[in-house]
A = this chain, B = another copy of it.
Amino acid sequence: MKKAHGKLIFGTFLKDRGLRFTKERSVILQKTLSCSGHFDPESLYLQIREAGLKASRASVYRTLSILCECGLIERVKKTERGTIYENMFGHEHHDHMLCIQCGNLIEFYSEELERLQEALCKKQGFQGTGHNLEIRGYCRKCRKKKR
């Protein structure tokens, strides 16, 4: 199953570095993987508490860093209200369009876009390892409302 596999990846990653698979890390991993979309550390922490589980804010922050390193989640961006993460396990890489009117977030993927970036990197002698693209503007709904 998905979650089990996520656990395996995390467990292996930890063991490889002499880190320990603690109850707290397990809880945070689980809640993280059950997140469908984007999330922030504080909400995750509150979710854990509401579920009657145990993990401090400090552990949440620390564990999210590790989960980033092992690729199970990604730091999407920093906003004025803090860092936004995204569960990457089972999700494919994609980019975002953000509606500056309603906050709606559209995920999209374009093979052509990826290839083009690759070509642009080559032109600069640059070896790309990742990227973030956020397009801001107005979503379909908000455009209609404006009319």
* Chain A contact residues, CB within 8 Å of chain B: 77-80, 97, 99-100, 106, 108, 110, 112-113, 116-117, 120-121, 123-140, 143
Contact = CB atoms under 8 A, between A and B. Distances in A.
Contacts of A106: 124, 126
Q: Tell me how many chains of this kind the complex includes.
A: 2
Interface of A: prevailing SS:
strand
A110 B100 contact: no
Contacts of A113: 113, 116-117, 120
B121 A137 contact: yes
A134 B121 CA distance: 11
Contact of A135 (B108, B110, B131): B131
B126 A131 contact: no
